[in-house]
Chain A
Amino acid sequence: MEVTKITNATRTYKIGEVETRALRGVDLSIENGEFTALVGPSGSGKTTLLQLIGLLDQPTSGSVFINGQDATHLNRNQRADLRKDAIGFVFQFFALIPTLTAYENIEMPLLLNGTKPADRKARVNQMLDAVGLSDRAHHRPDQLSGGQQQRVAVARALATNPKLILADEPTANLDTENGKQVMDIMQRLNKETGVTFVFATHDPRVISYAKRVVTLEDGVIQKDSKSNGKSKS
C-alpha cells in the first residue's frame, strides 16, 4: 500500500523577480515499509521533495497523497492535523525543544494528539528504550551528545506511531560513529515495526543503508533503484 504518492509535482520559488524551479514535475510513490534515500547534489530538490511529502510545503502544481488521502489543497490546520497523526520528522539540526527533557520532547507529539497520560508514559518509556536512552530520560538536550539528541529526535518522530518518517540529512551533523548509531536504529525500527523511512542525504555511508535510492538532479528524478540495503554490523 502506498504511504505517500507525488504526481507531477513542481515547486517554484520566487525571490524578488527571480524564479527558481526546485522541482520540475516529479512522480514518486513510496510503499509501506520502505527504507528509501533521496539523494543528489545540493540544489537537486531532495529537501524540497521531502518537504512536500511532509506537508510542510505545498506544490506549485501537481498532487500529494498521504495514506491515499489527497493532501494537496488542505489548509494549514488540516495539514498540521495530518502531520500530527501520520508523519514523523527527523531534522538535520537536532531539532529538540531545549527547555524540555528527552522524556518531555518525546512526549510532546503525544500531548498534541491527546494520548492519555498512562499510555503516554508507557509509549515514551518504550521509545526511550528503543533508542537506548532510558538512562538519559531526564536530561535536557544541552546535556546530551549530538548523537543522543538525534536518537531522541528519532524516538519523538516515532512516538505517535506514524506510518511515515521523514529524515532530512539525519547524520549530517554527526560524527561517523554517532551517524552509524542513528542509521542502525532507524534501520532496526524499520525492520521491527514496519514504519516507512524516507531520508534525504548525500552521504554515501547513509545511502548504503537504503533499500531504495531515488536520485534527483535539477529538480527531476534521474534514477530510482532498489537494493537490499546495508546490514547491521
Chain B
Amino acid sequence: MTQLFKLAYRNLWRNKTRSLLSALAVAGGMSLLLLMASVLEGELRGALQNTIRLQSGHLQIRPASYEEGKISLKWEDMIENPEQVTEQIKTLPQVIVATPRLIASGILTLSDESKGVQIIGVDPASEANQPFREGMIAGEFIQADDREGILIGNILADKLKLNVGDRVNLLVTTSNGDVDEQLFTIRGIYTTRTPGFDEFNVLMPLAKAQAFTATEDHASTIFILLQENEQADPVAQALQSNNFQTLTWRDQNQFVVQFEDYAGVFLVFLYLIVLGITATVVTNTLVMAVFERTREIGVLAAIGMKGRGIMAQFLVEAALLATGGVIGGLIIGGAAVAYFTVNGVYIGNYGITGVLFEERIYAHLTFENAVTLAIVTYVITLVASLYPARIAASMEPIEALHGLGA
C-alpha cells in the first residue's frame, strides 16, 4: 500500500504543471461552491432573521378573523385588551419579548408629494424595538407619551428629503371608516439596513396609533420573540385558543421557507455543473497519464500486476489529486467565505414581497455544508478517475507493451 502511494505521488510529480492545474481545478470548483453555498445560506439566513426581528417575530397572536395580507382596523378584527394577553404570554419561559403592535395603512404627505406607508404602533419601552433603537442615525427614539412624534426610515427620509424636526401630514382610514389626518413631527430617523423596510414603515407610540386610528384599547397583533427559532411550534401549541390565531414565523414566511427549499435544489444543480466541469478536467488529466504511461502499464502487467492493481494505482493518484484539491478548495474557498462573512456583498434595495433582504448579504458557512462539499468533491473526483483507471486496467499487456493502449 505504501508503495502504491509512493508510486502515485511520484507519478503526479512527473508532470507538475498538469497535476497542479488539475488539483487547482478541483480546488477552484470546490471554493466556488463553498462561496456560492455560503452566500446563499447567508442570504436566506439573513433574510429570515431580518424578517423575524422586524416583521413577523417568532410568533404572532392575531384575532381569529385575521386574514393574511389584509390590514383591518375593525374592532372585531383586532385583539382587545392586548396588554392583558401579552402579560399572560410573557409567563412562558421560552418567551423573550411579547408586545402588542398596531398596524395600519396610511399616506404620508408633504406639500407637493405623498407616499403610501405602513404605520406601526409600538410600545416604545419594549425590547422588540431594539433593531430600531440600535439603528437610530438621527434624532431620538419616540417616547410612550409622545402625541406628535414619529420615526421614519432613512430611505423614506432620503426620498422625501426629510430631516429630524420636519413636520409631515399622515392620513389614515380609521376603524369606523372615516379618514383622519394629523400633523406629526419627525423625532428620529432609523435604519435597519433593510431598504425594503426602511422605505415604508413609520413608527409611532402604540397609544397614539390607537387614538389616531380610533381603535382605542385594541392591537392588530402580539409580536413575540423566543429564545430559538425551533421553539415556535411548541409555544404556538401552548398558546392555542379559540379567540386567536397563533402564527409561527414559518406560517408567516412561507415564501422564504419555500425559497430555501428551491435554493437547495438550485444549489444541487450548481454542484453538478461545477463538479461536472471539474470531473472532466480530472478525467482528461488521468486519460492523458494513462496513454503516456501505456508501456509502463504493460510492464507492470507483464511482471504480474493484475488489472485491479493497475486500477488502484490510478485511483490512488486521483485520491491524491482530490486530497490536494479539497485542501486547496478549503483554503481558497475558506478565505473567500471569511472575507464575505466579514464584509458582505452590497446588493442595495433588492426585495421580494414579504421577504426583507438586508442591503448587504453576508456569507454564512456551516460546518455541515463545508464537510458535505468536501466529501462530494472528493467522491466526484474519484468517480471521474474510474474511466481512465478502467482503461488502464483493461489494457492487454502485449498491446500496452507495444504502446498501443486500450
Partner pick for B304 among A83, A99, A107, CB 8 A cutoff: A83
Distance, CA A84 to CA B299, complexed state (A): 12
Contact A95 B299, beta carbon cutoff 8 Å: yes
Contact B398 A89, beta carbon cutoff 8 Å: no
Q: Which of B3-11, B158-166, B208-216 participates in binding chain A?
A: B3-11
Inter-chain contact count A-B, CB under 8 Å? Answer: 67
Distance, CA A99 to CA B295, complexed state (A): 14
Task: Enumerate B4-43 residues with CB–CB distance to A below 8 Å.
Answer: 6-7, 10-11, 13-14
By beta carbon, the residue of chain A nearest B301 is A80
Contact A51 B398, beta carbon cutoff 8 Å: yes
Distance, CA A104 to CA B300, complexed state (A): 13
Chain A hits for B298, CB < 8 A: 95
Contact A112 B307, beta carbon cutoff 8 Å: no
Q: Is the interface of B mostly helix, strand, loop or mixed?
A: helix
Contact B303 A112, beta carbon cutoff 8 Å: yes
Distance, CA A162 to CA B234, complexed state (A): 77
Chain B hits for A100, CB < 8 A: 7, 10
Contact A80 B304, beta carbon cutoff 8 Å: yes
Contact A98 B307, beta carbon cutoff 8 Å: no
Number of chain B interface residues as a range: 20 to 34
Chain B hits for A91, CB < 8 A: 299, 302, 401
Contact A99 B301, beta carbon cutoff 8 Å: no
Residue interface bits A64-89, CB-to-B below 8 A is 1, else 0: 00000000000011001101110011
Contact B302 A83, beta carbon cutoff 8 Å: yes
Residue interface bits B288-332, CB-to-A below 8 A is 1, else 0: 000000011011111111110100000000000000000000000
By beta carbon, the residue of chain A nearest B14 is A99
Partner pick for B7 among A93, A97, A112, CB 8 A cutoff: A97
Task: Enumerate B370-404 residues with CB–CB distance to A below 8 Å.
Answer: 397-398, 401
Contact B296 A81, beta carbon cutoff 8 Å: no
Contact B397 A56, beta carbon cutoff 8 Å: yes
Partner pick for B307 among A56, A77, A81, A99, CB 8 A cutoff: A77
Chain B hits for A84, CB < 8 A: 303-305
Distance, CA A166 to CA B300, complexed state (A): 15
Q: Residues of B at under 8 Å CB distance from A? A: 3, 6-7, 10-11, 13-14, 295-296, 298-307, 309, 397-398, 401
18 A-B pairs in the complex with CB atoms less than 8 angstroms apart? A54-B302, A57-B398, A77-B307, A80-B305, A80-B306, A81-B306, A83-B304, A85-B304, A91-B299, A93-B295, A98-B14, A99-B7, A99-B13, A104-B3, A108-B300, A109-B303, A109-B304, A112-B304
Q: Residues of A at under 8 Å CB distance from B? A: 51, 54, 56-57, 76-77, 80-81, 83-85, 88-89, 91, 93, 95-100, 104, 107-109, 111-113, 156
